[in-house]
Amino acid sequence: MRQPDIEIYLKEAKSGHEHVVEWLSKALGPCTPWVKKGQVWKCTAGGIPVTWMPNAVGKWNSLYLDSDQTPWDDDIACAQAAFKALNVEVRCAPGTWEEEQGEADADRWIRISEDGQEEITWKTNS
């Protein structure tokens, strides 16, 4: 089932988010100029609203795509594509998470790196 939006976390890259912009432009369509709004940066890529939050969780940057019209059905497919294109470790939720599922499930994440794909426990709220 297609997710209503996509959110992945990319490990801090030495080159900043310029490579992410290049990847998004190829995957979704040209990016509008980035506008800083508080702690986040926003643009539209191929008509899809994009939010970039640097250091959202420690040295991890959040990339949020507010649409169900991306080329990816879910966070995992997007994370796999991001790792392939950017060669940085990527993390995402294993599926759509809702508060009713409890805090234990909130710490379940998928890690995609040069080691492959695996489920991990990642405590993002500590």
Domains of the chain: 6-121 (3.30.310)
Per-residue pLDDT reduced to its tens digit, 75-95: 999 999 999 999 999 999 987
Q: Is 51 exposed, middle or buried (0-12, 13-18, 19+ CB in 10 A)?
A: middle
pLDDT digits (tens, 9 = 90+) for 91-113: 999 876 555 655 656 688 999 99
Percent of the chain whose pLDDT exceeds 90: 69
As a whole number, the mean pLDDT across the chain is: 88
pLDDT category of residue 37 using cuts at 50, 70 and 90: very high
pLDDT (0 to 100) of residue 2: 81
- Segment 45-53 shows an average pLDDT of 95
Residue 115 has pLDDT above 80, yes or no: yes
Q: How far apart are the first and last CA of the chain?
A: 31
Residues 90, 59 contacting (CB under 8 angstroms) = no
Question: Which residue in 106, 113, 95 sits closest to 10, CA to CA?
Answer: 113
